[in-house]
Structure 1
């Protein structure tokens, strides 16, 4: 139990930056959730209109954008399933 708790603290998340009027954001959230489930990761959604500070910290100016850990994978576009999967693998290998 303790090990999984501590792993959850340091394990990277998939972060999806969205806006209400973004037509591609629902697909980005769905893709992120599917890939996260494959790797046992959490997904965090950040609405850039509400949390502009976090978006600026990541350098996100357009949606959808997806980050894995602290690495932006896609800005203003929907990555392919393989692009996101490979990015997650790369980040997990380094963590």
Structure 2
């Protein structure tokens, strides 16, 4: 599973990346995590507000920092696809 955190590199984005990594590890998910800060790449996903979570090329959330429970649910949903 490829997980991308889209954002400028601000504290929210950094904390979100850390939370996603911790939760994916706790769930024993085989994943690759990438932080995307290039605005052109972010806009290519159609994301207008960050932070955002993209899993395997699909934007799962944008413009907010999800709770840890919401992150877990997103990863479970993505893993089942």
Range into which the TM-score falls when normalised by the shorter chain = 0.7 to 0.9
Q: Larger RCO: Structure 1 or Structure 2 (Cα < 8 Å, ≥ 6 residues apart)?
A: 2
C-alpha deviations, 1:32-87, integer Å up to 9, x for none?
Answer: 1112323121111001xxx2332122112222111122222221211111211111
| Greater fraction of residues in helix | 1
Residue 62 (1) aligns with residue 61 (2): no
Of 11, 25, 28 in structure 1, the residue corresponding to residue 13 of structure 2 is: 25
| Partners of 2:69 and 2:58 in 1: CA distance | 16
Unaligned ranges ≥5, structure 2: none
Larger Rg: 1
Residue 45 (1) aligns with residue 32 (2): no
| Partners of 1:92 and 1:74 in 2: CA distance | 16
TM superposition score normalised by structure 1: 0.70
Determine helix, strand or coil for the equivalent of 1:67. strand
Corresponding residue pairs, total: 79
Determine helix, strand or coil for the equivalent of 2:11. coil
Unaligned ranges ≥5, structure 1: 1-11
Determine helix, strand or coil for the equivalent of 2:24. helix
